[in-house]
Amino acid sequence: MHPPVIDDLEPALDEAARLLRQALRVAALTGAGVSAESGVPTFRGADGLWEGHRVEEVATPMAFRDNPELVWRFYNQRRERLTAVQPNPGHFALAELEAKHFQDGRFTLVTQNVDGLHRQAGSRRVLELHGNLRRTRCTGCAEIKDRGLEPLGDLPECGQCGELLRPDIVWFHEMLPEDAWEAAAEAAATCELFLVVGTSAVVYPAASLIPAARRSGAKIVEINLAATDASHAADVCLHGPSGVILPELVKRIRDKNQPHRVQRT
């Protein structure tokens, strides 16, 4: 039996802050919604990123094999858009949780986002499950390079071996990076509190971290504009923009003396 979900904002914020203060280890799973207030479009929804493209056209290995120009045009456009984007208060609040309230590796940020904004906001322990738009990977020698947001051209080639580069993004039908996935699963299994922020929780295996954390005894706090597939598993749902809710939550942690932390047995 799940405890009742609290979704009236003020008491829900207080309850989420209480759970956060009690936790020794915290993990967060973020999705496109956390970057929405920075101006990065989400994937699903009215003006979602896939609109105008079918996922299969731009985000699968088959698409890249059949039409690399189209795929690179899509990703170059996303890279270019990022040059005008900055982290928002939600990103900074998550970075503060790690830097000031859950130090010494007790905060793990698992993200499905490929925009690099968590690191830009100062988060350090970031597990990028779906890759990063700023990196390229060679289809020949497999070299991975951080290219920042420099323009790459229509069909960029590897400086080492001359083969075609691809974005270092995990496409549909591809495996997640093993190290990041294992560390994320470990964080979900060992935290006392699992924050689920700005994700529709429909893409697997990332979304499976939520029930995994719950099965291991973690409390689940969801922050999203609306209810999602993960809401039924949440102890507290905070409905609103993460750029407002996360700073509010962190403020409540900052303002109060930390009571005795309970450890999971």
Question: Which residues, in sequence order, are CB contacts of 178 under 8 Å at separation 6+?
Answer: none
Please report, for residues 63, 72, 73, 176, 231, the alpha-carbon distance to residue 53 in angstroms, rounded to integers and kept in the order given.
Answer: 12, 13, 12, 23, 28
Q: Which stretch binds ligand OAD (CB under 6 A): 63-71, 102-110, 117-125, 224-232?
A: 224-232
Least distance in Å: CB of 103 to ligand OAD? 26
Residue 36 in the binding site for ligand OAD (CB under 6 A): yes
Question: Which residues, in sequence order, are CB contacts of 139 under 8 Å at separation 6+?
Answer: 158, 163, 164, 165, 166
Annotated catalytic residue 53: no
Asked if 224 and 29 touch (Cβ cutoff 8 Å), the reply is no
Q: Which stretch binds ligand OAD (CB under 6 A): 28-36, 116-124, 135-143, 154-162?
A: 28-36
Q: Which stretch binds ligand OAD (CB under 6 A): 1-9, 31-39, 138-146, 187-195?
A: 31-39
Least distance in Å: CB of 168 to ligand OAD? 12
Interaction residues for ligand OAD, span 167-186 (CB under 6 A): 170
Looking at beta carbons only, is 108 or 199 nearer to ligand OAD?
Answer: 199
- CA angle 4/7/101 to nearest 5° reads 95
Residue from 242, 247, 248, 250 touching ligand OAD (CB under 6 A): that is 242
Q: Which stretch binds ligand OAD (CB under 6 A): 30-38, 62-70, 142-150, 213-221?
A: 30-38
Residue 130 in the binding site for ligand OAD (CB under 6 A): yes
Window 43-82: contact mask with ligand OAD (x via CB under 6 A): xxx--x----------x-----------------------
- Contacts of 255-261 with C-beta under 8 Å, sequence gap 24+, read 256/17, 256/21, 258/21, 259/21, 259/22, 261/21, 261/22, 261/23, 261/24
Please report, for residues 114, 174, 205, 265, the alpha-carbon distance to residue 123 in angstroms, rounded to integers and kept in the order given.
Answer: 14, 26, 23, 28
Looking at beta carbons only, is 31 or 156 nearer to ligand OAD?
Answer: 31
Which one of 53, 101, 130, 232 is the catalytic residue?
130
DSSP result, 219-230:
EEEEEESS--TT
Residue 37 in the binding site for ligand OAD (CB under 6 A): yes
Looking at beta carbons only, is 106 or 220 nearer to ligand OAD?
Answer: 220
Please report, for residues 28, 31, 66, 107, 157, the alpha-carbon distance to residue 138 in angstroms, rounded to integers and kept in the order given.
Answer: 31, 26, 17, 32, 8
Residue from 29, 198, 209, 253 touching ligand OAD (CB under 6 A): that is 198
Asked if 230 and 223 touch (Cβ cutoff 8 Å), the reply is no
DSSP result, 174-187:
SPPPHHHHHHHHHH
Residue from 7, 149, 225, 252 touching ligand OAD (CB under 6 A): that is 225
Binding residues for ligand OAD, per CB under 6 A? Answer: 31-33, 36-37, 42-45, 48, 59, 112, 130, 170, 198-200, 203, 224-226, 228, 241-243
Question: Which of the residues are catalytic?
Answer: 130
